[in-house]
Amino acid sequence: MARAHSLPDVASVPVFPVYLFDVDGTLVDSALDICGAIQGALACTQQKDISFEILRGYIGRHLSDMFADLFPDQTPEQEMTFIQEYRRLYPARNHASTTMFPGVKEALAALPGKKSTATTKGTPTTRIVLEMFGLLPFFDHVQGTDGFPSKPNPDVIFKALDALGADPQDCLFVGDSVADMEAARRAGAKSCAVTYGYGVREHLERWTPDYWIDDLRELLPAQAINVPREEALPVET
């Protein structure tokens, strides 16, 4: 039987001066495009039959992490060949199978404070994805991982905060993965785990996120919610 998804107490997540967002698994569902490109890059290897479910678990981490797990005896040159093939295949898909999660645009449009991404994607690709889904105008800065260590290292968070002129204690970092939660902790920022992404809840719980949300609109302060609670989210079946 269908039921309406009601928002929890809107005061459960306080208002922050700065919000940083992961992208894949948090703003957009890009698993089909990311995993499809990985499967294409693996097509001529002994791991060509690896499942979508396993690959989805690596989203948000650097490709090097996955390659090291799948091919522990391979050389750096072989790893770079794989990464280059992925980087050729992924943009060629033109994000055709990527969709935006429900409530994302409404939440970003109404959310106060400064906003930036903090994603493992490169900045140019991140900007393309945000623009494609009409999200770019809601961000004060776009930050990807450009030649520095990726999450769970906190570098991308620090880069985004530097661009915004903000401090970690003023920031809420919103993401779906263990790498996101660890990066937030290491940066000294508050963390918010989304339950609809690619992360496994029990794995996320080990990092004790400061907040949990089932929908990005749950970040909004009370005055920013313009529809009745029982109509705030789409009906689920």
Look at 111-115, 122-126, 221-225 and tell me which has the smallest mean pLDDT. Answer: 221-225
pLDDT of 230 higher than 70? no
Give the mean pLDDT of 124-145. 97
pLDDT tier at 232 (50, 70, 90 boundaries)? very low
| Domain containing residue 108 | 10-29+98-231
pLDDT at 95: 96
For the entire predicted model, the pTM comes to: 0.86
Q: What is the pLDDT of residues 25-76, one digit of tens each?
A: 999 999 999 999 999 999 988 888 899 999 998 998 888 889 889 999 889 9
Q: DSSP H helical segments within the chain, as ranges?
A: 31-41, 52-56, 63-70, 76-92, 104-110, 123-132, 155-164, 178-187, 201-205
Neighbours of 222 (CB within 10 A): 10
Determine, yes or no, domain membership for 237: no
pLDDT at 12: 84
As for how many domains the chain has, the answer is 2
22 lies in the same domain as 132: yes
Determine, yes or no, domain membership for 207: yes
CATH number for the domain spanning 187: value is 3.40.50.1000
| Amino acid present at 122 | G
Q: What is the pLDDT of residues 161-216, one digit of tens each?
A: 999 999 999 999 999 999 999 999 999 999 999 999 999 999 999 999 999 999 99
Report the alpha-carbon distance of residue 145 to residue 11 in Å, rounded. Answer: 32
pLDDT at 145: 96
